[in-house]
């Protein structure tokens, strides 16, 4: 049987991919096998994987079969820094390059401390809502080193909200997936099979408030007590299996899903050997079809080759100059685009800088929205009423006031939401 699996024309109809997720100190590995249109999967859970060092892992970790194909690691959302920003519709690759120069404006770390990537969520008029996801390099490198010790190297790293996308199937309605990660509730909102919102809640009350604010048509729960459904009995609720996250991550190696985010690419995607073999065979057949007329024209081709060599020799200097001009034009175009982005959004960065200077050290901002000439911030502080006159005294802001009633947190701090106008 082992010899049959190595036959290319048979194995090309059989594919496999693996998804990995982290639950506390445990590692969950799911491998999906696809034969024609039939899927099967196997899941293994390795307890206390995160507590073992490399030698202990090599001795204890014994996968049932060799893990091959595409391997996708789903990184916990609760350990990820996520920011949502509005940017003009632009090329995602160019936008990522531009953000590399001003990453500290959006997260409290720089390029040297984190792995980061971006994903376009949806469009709002002429702007695109962009999700920035970042994770500390030390944390992710620790996981990758442990996986490498057992000869598992992910080809890409996504965050858990995207791992649940394949589980939604063809649902076109609004769906919320709630998972429990290390005593934190992760709230993921999907519309028309696209992620539109992801947040972390520390308490069930805060989680329930998120559900009421963005009321879905269905709720999926993973590692969350079924009793939670009693808070919203009118919304259909379904529990997901414990391997749902790794199962969904594995599907990224078999199909294309709407996620261009990868926090770390540990290796280049391998070329499918069956496709390569078919390409070689096809090329051989094409070559054979043209072989006979080629022999008749070989003399003419030899003359043509000599002529082309002479032309290339004459144009050598011209080609060098043309290539230099093309490179200069490409550099100028890239610089122009970066300068254009920076010139359009320097005001927003100034506003963020002004807020960080004005707000006292005992206040914490959890969310900020800048839209046209208004701002909306929410967070908590020892005394939120003192924040309004502080902001009102700034020449950049006017009409500052509370957007919702002030509430108390469990620690006694005041949770606030403040709105105001931005003076141009």
The DSSP-derived string for 6-33 is: T-HHHHTTEEEEEEEEEETTEEEEEEEE
- DSSP of 117-129: EEEEEEEETTEEE
The pLDDT of residue 348: 76
Domain for residue 414, yes or no? yes
N-term to C-term CA, the chain: 73
The pLDDT of residue 343: 57
Last residue of a domain, one of 284, 314, 344: 314
pLDDT band at 256 (very low <50, low <70, confident <90, very high): low
Domain for residue 368, yes or no? yes
Pairing relationship of beta strands 156-159 and 70-75 according to DSSP bridges: parallel
For residue 356, what are the CA distances in angstroms to 206, 345, 353?
A: 25, 17, 5
pLDDT one-digit tens code per residue, 353-397: 888 888 888 888 888 888 878 889 999 988 888 888 888 888 888
The pLDDT of residue 1: 30
The pLDDT of residue 356: 84
Domain for residue 361, yes or no? yes
Q: What is the SS3 assignment for 269?
A: coil
Last residue of a domain, one of 281, 314, 347: 314
127 or 424, which is more confident?
A: 127
CB 157: neighbour CB atoms within 10 A? 25
How many DSSP H helices and E strands does the chain contain?
12, 18
> Which CATH number covers residue 367?
3.30.70.2830
Structural domain including 293 reads: 273-314
pLDDT band at 269 (very low <50, low <70, confident <90, very high): very low
Domain for residue 111, yes or no? no
The pLDDT of residue 276: 53
Domain for residue 66, yes or no? no
Domain for residue 340, yes or no? no
The pLDDT of residue 56: 84
The pLDDT of residue 28: 92
* Average pLDDT of span 197-211: 87
Q: Is the pLDDT of residue 73 over 90?
A: yes
The pLDDT of residue 64: 56
For the ranges 14-28, 82-96, 276-290, the one whose mean pLDDT is highest: 14-28
* Average pLDDT of span 106-112: 82
| 363 and 418 housed in the same domain | yes
Domain for residue 386, yes or no? yes
Domain for residue 323, yes or no? no
Last residue of a domain, one of 282, 314, 346: 314
pLDDT one-digit tens code per residue, 110-165: 888 898 888 888 777 777 888 888 999 999 999 999 888 888 889 889 999 999 98
The pLDDT of residue 9: 43
Q: Is the pLDDT of residue 101 over 50?
A: yes
> Which two tokens mark 287?
């070559």
pLDDT one-digit tens code per residue, 313-330: 777 777 777 788 888 888
Q: Is the pLDDT of residue 66 over 70?
A: no
Q: What is the mean pLDDT of the chain?
A: 80
Q: What is the domain count for the chain?
A: 2
pLDDT one-digit tens code per residue, 293-303: 767 777 777 78
* Average pLDDT of span 44-60: 85
The pLDDT of residue 286: 77
The pLDDT of residue 4: 32
The pLDDT of residue 6: 39
Q: What are the backbone angles phi and psi of residue 256, rounded to the nearest 5°?
A: -100, 125
* Average pLDDT of span 236-249: 89
1 or 236, which is more confident?
A: 236
Q: Is the pLDDT of residue 81 over 60?
A: yes
Give every CB contact of residue 167 below 8 A, 6+ residues apart in sequence.
177, 220, 240, 244, 247, 248
Give every CB contact of residue 285 below 8 A, 6+ residues apart in sequence.
none
* Average pLDDT of span 398-417: 87
Cβ distance 16 to 32 under 8 Å?
yes
Q: Is the pLDDT of residue 12 over 60?
A: no
pLDDT band at 270 (very low <50, low <70, confident <90, very high): very low
Q: Which of 101-105, 344-348, 379-383 has the lowest mean pLDDT?
A: 344-348
| 418 and 368 housed in the same domain | yes
CB 204: neighbour CB atoms within 10 A? 14
Q: Is the pLDDT of residue 74 over 90?
A: yes
Task: Say what the pTM is.
Answer: 0.59
């Amino acid at each position: 049987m082992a010899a049959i699996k190595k036959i290319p024309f048979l194995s090309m109809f059989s594919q496999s991919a693996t998804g990995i997720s982290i639950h506390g100190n445990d590692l969950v590995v799911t491998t999906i096998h696809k034969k024609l249109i039939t899927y099967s999967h196997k899941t293994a859970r390795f307890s206390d994987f995160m507590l073992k060092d490399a030698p202990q892992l090599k001795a204890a970790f014994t996968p049932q079969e060799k893990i091959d194909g595409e391997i996708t690691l789903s990184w916990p959302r609760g350990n990820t820094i996520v920011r949502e920003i509005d940017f003009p519709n632009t090329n995602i690759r160019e936008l990522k390059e531009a953000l590399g120069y001003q990453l500290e404006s959006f997260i409290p770390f720089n390029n040297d401390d984190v792995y980061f990537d971006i994903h376009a969520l949806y469009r709002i008029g002429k702007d695109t809502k962009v999700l920035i996801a970042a994770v500390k390099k030390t944390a992710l490198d620790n996981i990758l080193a442990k996986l490498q010790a057992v000869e598992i190297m992910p080809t890409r790293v996504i965050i858990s909200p995207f791992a649940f996308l394949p589980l939604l199937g063809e649902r076109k309605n609004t769906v919320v997936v709630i998972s429990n990660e290390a005593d934190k509730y992760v709230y993921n909102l999907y519309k028309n099979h696209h992620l539109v919102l992801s947040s972390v809640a520390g308490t069930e009350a805060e989680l329930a408030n998120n559900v009421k604010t963005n009321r879905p048509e269905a709720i999926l729960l993973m590692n969350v007590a079924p009793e939670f459904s009693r808070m919203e009995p009118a919304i259909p609720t379904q529990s997901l299996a414990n391997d749902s996250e790794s199962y969904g991550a594995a599907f990224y190696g078999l199909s294309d899903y709407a996620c261009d985010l990868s926090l770390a690419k540990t290796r280049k995607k391998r070329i499918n050997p069956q496709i390569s073999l078919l390409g070689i065979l096809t090329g051989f057949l094409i070559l054979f079809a043209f072989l006979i007329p080629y022999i008749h024209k070989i003399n003419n081709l030899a003359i043509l080759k000599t002529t082309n060599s002479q032309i290339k020799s004459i144009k050598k200097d011209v080609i060098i100059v043309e290539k230099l001009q093309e490179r200069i034009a490409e550099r100028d175009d890239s610089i122009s685009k970066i300068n254009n982005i920076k010139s359009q959004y320097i005001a927003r960065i100034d506003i963020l800088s002004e807020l960080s200077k004005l707000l006292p050290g005992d206040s914490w901002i959890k969310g900020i929205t800048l839209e046209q000439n208004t701002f909306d911030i929410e967070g908590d502080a020892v005394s939120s009423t003192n924040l309004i006159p502080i902001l009102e005294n700034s020449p950049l802001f006017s009409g500052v006031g509370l957007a919702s009633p002030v509430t108390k947190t469990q620690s006694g701090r005041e949770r606030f939401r403040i709105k105001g106008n931005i003076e141009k």
